[in-house]
Each structure stands twice: as C-alpha cells, then as structure tokens.
Amino acid sequence: MTWVRRLAAAALGVALAACSADPSPTPPPPCPTEAPTLASAQATLEGARLATVTVSGAVEGEFSIELYGDEAPLATANFVSLARCGFYDGIWFHRILAGFVIQAGDPGTKSHDRDWPDLGRGGPGYAFEIEPPAPGLRYDRHSVAMANNGDANGSQWFVSLADLDDALRRVGVYTIFGSVVEGNDVIDQIAAVPVNDPRVGVPLELVTIDRIEISSRPGPVASDGSS
C-alpha cells in the first residue's frame, strides 16, 4: 500500500500547488458595438468614479480623471466601456497643441507611428449624441471633454490646457465628462512634447496610453491644474 500512499501524497501536492498558483487573469469584456443609451449607461456607471490613465514613451507616468457620470451619462459610460475593454490600450495622443489641448482616442494610431491622411478620423464604429456641458461645468484647465465631428461623439477625447471656456463655446458644443484631479504634471509634460507644426500638433515622439483603469475610488477635489 506504500505506493498508494505515495500516489495520494503526490496528487495532494499537485492540488495544493494548483490552489496556491496565481489565478488566470480575467479577460476584458468585449468592446461595445453600438451607442450607449441612458438605460445601459446606468449599469455601466456603477462603481465608475475615477479613470487612471497610464502612459509611456516620450512621457511616462499616470494621471487620473474624475468622471462626471451624473452630468454626462452617455459620454462617461461610453468612455468607461471602451476603457474596460482595452479599446484605448496602445493608442497615442495624436494632437498636442500647446496652450490649447491634447487629444487621443483614434484607434488608427495603433497601427501607425506618424502622421497619415486619416489621422484623427478614427472612432469606435458607432456614434452617439452630443451632450451639452451640464450647468456649472466649464472648459477649464485640465477639464476632459469629447471631441466630435460637429454632429456626434465617438471615441476621441481631449484635455484642455488652459481656460478655454469662452473660446470653445464660440465654436461648438463638446461634452465635458471629467476633470484631471491627479497627475496634472503628466498632462503638462505631454503638452510639452515637440510636434511637427504648432498649428497641426502631430507629436514627433509618441506618448502612448498603456491602459486605463476604472475604479470606484473618489479622486481629490479637482484643482485648477497647478498641482
């Protein structure tokens, strides 16, 4: 019976080793294929209060965005869904306009490392309505808003580098869905990356989004971007 005991001990050892091993990572959910609705947004936004963006390349670090799910449920839920499924992973900031904005969200940048004719035209494959800025929200320094084509939102978004409230309200409507509350210095570093032309703003050195993590952790009170 010795061999039986040895076999049982070996099997127990394998079982314990399997139990103590690191669990397999949970695969990300599939990316959305259609526009969010108010009903779907409510479920998506549960536990979504902060988005932490990790970047690498010409600038390395992270910054956190306080999300305005109550004020802009469609845009916020869309951003959260795309972040959770990894849509933004590998996308780089394709517009860096000093004193104005930095912009990202074009999935075409994943397969290009420089300017090309369709730069800035990519999206998630669907569009959704533009939500006007909620009362009390402004295009302040380090506010975060959706870029759009004049008719609808997609996946692209920008961070204001200055108080642009008067300027942006004169030219269009852009949904404000958050504000940078941590890592403001990282935003300023991205804004200082050299570009091909200050009027065009295509970076000469890439700043790539590695991942965006959504959490329920509340961020600190949004500052004026001076931290």
Q: What is the pLDDT of residue 57?
A: 98
The two structure tokens encoding residue 129:
């309505």
**Residuewise pLDDT in 10s, the chain (227 residues):** 444 444 344 443 434 343 445 566 778 899 999 999 999 999 999 999 999 999 999 999 999 999 999 999 999 999 999 999 999 999 999 999 999 999 999 999 999 999 999 999 999 999 999 999 999 999 999 999 999 999 999 999 999 999 999 999 999 999 999 999 999 999 999 999 999 999 999 999 999 999 999 999 876 654 444 43
Residue 142 CA to residue 55 CA, distance in Å, equals 16
Give me the domains of the chain, ranges plus CATH numbers.
36-215 (2.40.100.10)
Q: What is the pLDDT of residue 222?
A: 46
Q: How many CB atoms lie within 10 A of CB 15?
A: 10
Residue 67 CA to residue 47 CA, distance in Å, equals 11
Q: Residues 21-49, buried b or exposed e (16+ Cβ, 10 A)?
A: eeeeeeeeeeebeebbeeebbeebbeebb
Q: What is the pLDDT of residue 27?
A: 86
Q: Residues 53-88, buried b or exposed e (16+ Cβ, 10 A)?
A: bbbebbbeebbbbbbbbebbbbbbbbbbbbbbbebb
The two structure tokens encoding residue 204:
């000469």
